[in-house]
Amino acid sequence: MHKILVEGIKIYAYHGCLVEESKIGTNYIVDVTMETDFTDAAKEDDLSKTIDYVAVYDIVKAQMAIRSKLIEQVGQRIVDELKKQFTTLKKVEVKVTKLNPPMNGNVERVSIVISE
């Protein structure tokens, strides 16, 4: 089994339960870890036989652009779309991190992780 990691995808988005968050937005970081078998791609140097990380980025960017109250929903949409687009996925893990969440305290970030 092989892993492909697309880490530190930085996106500005408008998720959150507060009305202000839908207007102001904040920075997010998304990390994607995928397990697959890219033996043939490695042997043949053929992108079509592996998972194109540019396509992974595009999926993350598109799903992050759809406003949600919860980053849990955003993360699940990313997982679902990755599984739909890449049938060779054996396992996928998505971490969505919200930087500087609006809380009554000094909190640097909050994250959710979904593994399927």
Domain ranges of the chain: 2-115
Fold of 2-115: GTP Cyclohydrolase I, domain 2 (3.30.1130)
Full-model pTM = 0.94
Rounded CA separation 58/46 (Å): 20
Sign of CA dihedral 116, 4, 59, 101: positive
Beta strands in the chain (DSSP E): 2-13, 26-36, 91-99, 109-115
pLDDT at 68 over 90: yes
Q: Give me the mean pLDDT over the 10-35 stretch.
A: 93
Give the number of other Cβ atoms within 10 Å of residue 92's Cβ. Answer: 22
Rounded CA separation 5/60 (Å): 13
The answer to whether 49 and 38 are in contact (CB under 8 A) is: yes
What contacts 105, CB < 8 A, 6 or more positions away? none
pLDDT at 86 over 90: yes
